[in-house]
C-alpha cells in the first residue's frame, strides 16, 4: 500500500511539473499576430462597419418613417443615410482587398479551448462575409436603383444615368432585401464578436487585442 501511495505521489508530482512547464512555455511563447496589412484592414473596416450600423440605427430609431417626417426630420434622416451610404461605398474598396489578404495570410493559431477556437473561427467567417456582402449589396441596390451612389462630397449617378430612374428596379429590390437582412444579422453578430474578444482580454487575460491592433508593435 505504501509503495502504491509513493508511486501515486511521484506520478502526481511529475504531472504537476509537466503542467507547470507547459504553462511556462506557453506564457513565454511570443504572441502570434496577424499580418500588419490585415491588421490595418481590420481597423479600417471595423470603424466603417460601426459607422454604418450606428448611422442606420440612428436614422431608423430617432426619426419616424419618411411619410411621417417633417421638413427638419427629413433633412436630418437624409443626412444620416448619406453618411451611411458614403461609408458603405468606401467599405466596398476595402472589402475585396481584405478578403484577398485573408486568403493569402491565414489567421494565427486559435486562443483558448478547442470549443472557443471553433466559435472564433465561425465568428470570423461570418464577419468576413458581412464585410463583403453588405457593401456589395448596398452598391448594387443604389447603382441599379434610382437614387445613385453618395460618396461624402458628391453623389454619383445611377446606372440609368438619371436620378430618379432605376435601370433595373427588380434587381435593385433584390439587392436591397439581401442588404437589409444581412444588416439585421450584423446588428447581433457585431456585439457578439466584440464580447468574445473582450472575454479573452479581461477574463482569460490573453492580450487578444494586441495581435490585431496595427498601432501595437
Q: Give the model confidence (pLDDT) of 181-210 as tens digits.
A: 999 999 999 999 999 999 989 998 888 899
pLDDT value of position 23: 43
Is the pTM above the cut of 0.95? no
DSSP for residue 31: P
pLDDT value of position 29: 56
Distance CA 144, CA 189 (A): 28
Mean pLDDT, to the nearest integer, of 117-139?
Answer: 93
Above 80 in pLDDT, residue 61?
A: yes
HSE value, Cβ hemisphere, 13 Å, CA-based, for 196: 20
pLDDT value of position 27: 45
Above 50 in pLDDT, residue 67?
A: yes
Mean pLDDT, to the nearest integer, of 32-42?
Answer: 91
Mean pLDDT, to the nearest integer, of 64-87?
Answer: 97
- State the chain's mean pLDDT as an integer: 87
pLDDT value of position 158: 97
Q: What is the pLDDT of residues 160-169, one digit of tens each?
A: 999 999 999 9
CB 214 within 8 A of CB 39: yes
pLDDT value of position 216: 86
Annotation: CATH topology of 34-211: Fumarate Reductase Cytochrome B subunit (1.20.950)
Distance CA 43, CA 24 (A): 32
Amino acid at each position: 500500500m505504501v509503495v502504491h501511495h509513493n508511486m501515486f505521489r511521484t506520478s502526481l508530482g511529475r504531472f504537476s511539473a509537466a503542467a507547470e512547464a507547459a504553462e511556462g512555455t506557453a506564457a513565454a511563447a511570443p504572441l502570434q499576430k496577424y499580418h500588419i496589412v490585415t491588421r490595418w484592414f481590420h481597423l479600417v473596416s471595423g470603424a466603417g462597419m460601426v459607422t454604418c450600423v450606428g448611422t442606420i440605427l440612428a436614422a431608423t430609431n430617432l426619426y419616424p418613417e419618411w411619410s411621417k417626417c417633417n421638413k427638419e426630420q427629413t433633412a436630418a434622416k437624409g443626412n444620416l443615410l448619406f453618411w451611411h451610404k458614403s461609408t458603405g461605398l468606401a467599405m466596398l474598396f476595402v472589402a475585396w482587398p481584405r478578403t484577398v489578404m485573408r486568403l493569402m495570410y491565414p489567421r494565427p493559431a486559435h486562443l483558448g479551448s478547442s470549443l472557443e477556437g471553433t466559435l472564433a473561427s465561425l465568428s470570423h467567417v461570418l464577419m468576413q462575409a458581412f464585410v463583403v456582402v453588405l457593401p456589395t449589396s448596398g452598391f448594387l441596390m443604389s447603382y441599379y436603383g434610382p437614387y445613385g451612389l453618395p460618396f461624402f462630397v458628391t453623389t454619383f449617378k445611377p446606372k440609368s444615368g438619371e436620378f430618379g430612374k432605376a435601370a433595373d428596379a427588380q434587381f435593385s429590390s433584390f439587392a436591397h432585401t439581401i442588404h437589409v437582412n444581412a444588416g439585421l444579422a450584423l446588428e447581433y453578430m457585431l456585439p457578439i464578436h466584440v464580447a468574445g474578444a473582450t472575454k479573452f482580454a479581461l477574463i482569460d487575460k490573453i492580450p487578444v487585442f494586441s495581435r490585431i491592433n496595427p498601432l501595437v508593435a
